[in-house]
Amino acid sequence: MLTDSERTRLRTCLRRVVGGRDHLTDCQTGQIAAETNLPLRKVECFALAEGVIPERYDRNIGTLGLEGQCKLLSSCVTVVGLGGLGGHVIETLARLGVGRIIGVDGDVFVESNLNRQLLSNVENFGQSKAEQAGLHVRRVNPAVEFVGYSAPFQSVADRIFSDSSLVFDCLDSISERRVLAERCASAGVALVHGAIAGWCGQVAVCPAGGDVLDRLYAGGKRGVETHVGNLPFTAAVAANLMVAKAVPLLLGQPVPTCLEVQFFDLLDGDWETIKL
């Protein structure tokens, strides 16, 4: 929330910097933030409310609208797992302008991550995935606040989940997915689930307290990805489908009560939605 004094300062500065134009460059956003001593995200939200579009979101507005873009900037999500799925989720969330992203992963990058993990490169082996995610987000969109936890999600505080609008399940362990679903249920927050194996993937929105994951993984202890591996394009498709499922919810649509899972097979070109 902005105070009346902050609004006055922002309005005066915004009018002076942009003149009669209806777009705002990154450089101008930074100038206004420096002059008003306010975060970039608040500057962008205020500009949108005044009908001025930050250039970086110009191609979003036709679909999301000014109000929708402002809602995204005001949103907070948590991404658990910053590997194959999580790296792509983080990337897309930052480019969309989701204002606060909490990333949780206690792991470090290793060479076998290179085939599919967007945040990995030959120079960051052994470095924290959470820390590298924060650096990446700042390079992509410095207005987005990234808070990284280089720790197992089981050890982070309950408020990390309860303060989030949504949680993304980008884990690779069935047992850990179930624990995460339990924590989200306790926090009353919906979970966006994604998983891949070879050419195939699945995505679902799990309402708080729902049993989607229990039904999906009934009796299962290990995923088939341990045998068939994970391909880079499968991770990218699943991750972006997860974000596509999440954005309507961040814009205000209710979490669906009808439990369903979307499955895809990129080799055969099959897409199927199963109601549970």
> Is CATH 3.30.230.10 what the domain over 75-275 is classified as, yes or no?
no
Please state, in angstroms and rounded to a whole number, the distance separating the CA atoms of residues 21 and 23: 6
What's the whole-model pTM score?
Answer: 0.96
pLDDT of residue 220: 64
pLDDT at 222: 65
Using one digit for the tens of pLDDT, what is the confidence trace for 48-85? Answer: 999 999 999 999 999 999 999 999 999 999 999 999 99
Say if CB 104 and CB 180 are below 8 A apart.
no
Asked if the model's pLDDT at residue 257 lies above 90, the reply is no
> Which percentage of the chain shows pLDDT scores above 70?
97
- pLDDT tens-digit profile of 114-125? 999 999 999 999
What does the DSSP assignment read for 104-150? E---B--GGGTTT-TT--TT-TTSBHHHHHHHHHHHH-TTSEEEEE-
Q: How far is the C-alpha of 242 from the C-alpha of 80, rounded, in Å?
A: 13
Q: What is the mean pLDDT of the chain?
A: 95
Tell me the domain boundaries of the chain.
20-69, 75-275
Contact criterion met (CB below 8 Å) for 55 and 25: yes
Q: Which two tokens stand for residue 203?
A: 């995505």
223: number of CA atoms within 13 Å, CB side?
21
